[in-house]
């Protein structure tokens, strides 16, 4: 399983909006600069996320994007599935788009791939963007600078 660049950018954009956690929208240029996402690509991604009900937009000089739901209510798994489709290391264990096994007697790895899909799904489905923001703030808080004299 590989996360596409588009999905990675979508996750990063959602993170920045979750970190802002206010009603004030963020401009595309601000998100793009902060996360080093190409602006034109980000426009497409945010439009797709808007269509999925994950973000809202406001036009005008004071416009921009913000989360449509609170960061506590949006999971990483929702965004990953919305952008990239099913979360499965191989197609035969996908729940939404399973592919028949190429081996007529069954695959020796089917149980393994299923456990891997379940483990990944558990992590991404139980991690909200609020969790990610809290984790990052905690990481920054406990980081000790290396002072050399």
Q: Which of 71, 60, 58 shows the shortest CA–CA distance to 25?
A: 58
Does the domain at residues 5-142 carry the CATH identifier 1.10.8.350? no
pLDDT range class, residue 111, cuts 50, 70, 90: confident
Q: What is residue 144's predicted lDDT score, i.e. its pLDDT?
A: 61
Q: Per-residue pLDDT tens for 71-82?
A: 999 999 999 999
Delimit the domains of the chain by residue range: 5-142
Residue 104 banded pLDDT, cuts 50, 70, 90: low
Q: What is the pTM of this model?
A: 0.84
CA distance 30 to 35: 9
pLDDT in tens, 26-39: 999 999 999 999 99
Q: Spell out the residues 6+ positions from residue 114 whose beta carbon is closer than 8 angstroms to its own.
A: 93
Closest to 77 in 3D by CA, of 14, 15, 125 = 125
């Amino acid at each position: 399983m590989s996360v596409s660049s588009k999905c990675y950018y979508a996750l990063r954009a959602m993170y920045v909006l979750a970190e802002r956690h206010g009603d004030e929208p963020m401009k595309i240029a601000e998100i793009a600069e902060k996360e080093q996402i190409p602006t034109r690509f980000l426009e497409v991604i945010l439009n797709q996320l808007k269509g999925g009900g994950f973000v809202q937009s406001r036009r005008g000089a004071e416009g921009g994007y913000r989360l449509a739901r609170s960061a506590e209510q949006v999971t990483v798994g929702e965004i990953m599935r919305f952008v990239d489709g099913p979360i499965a290391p191989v197609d035969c264990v996908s729940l939404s788009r399973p592919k028949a096994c190429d081996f007529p007697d069954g695959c020796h790895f089917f149980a393994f791939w299923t456990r891997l899909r379940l483990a990944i799904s558990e992590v991404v489905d139980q991690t909200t963007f609020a969790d990610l923001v809290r984790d990052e703030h905690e990481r920054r808080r406990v980081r000790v600078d290396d002072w050399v004299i």
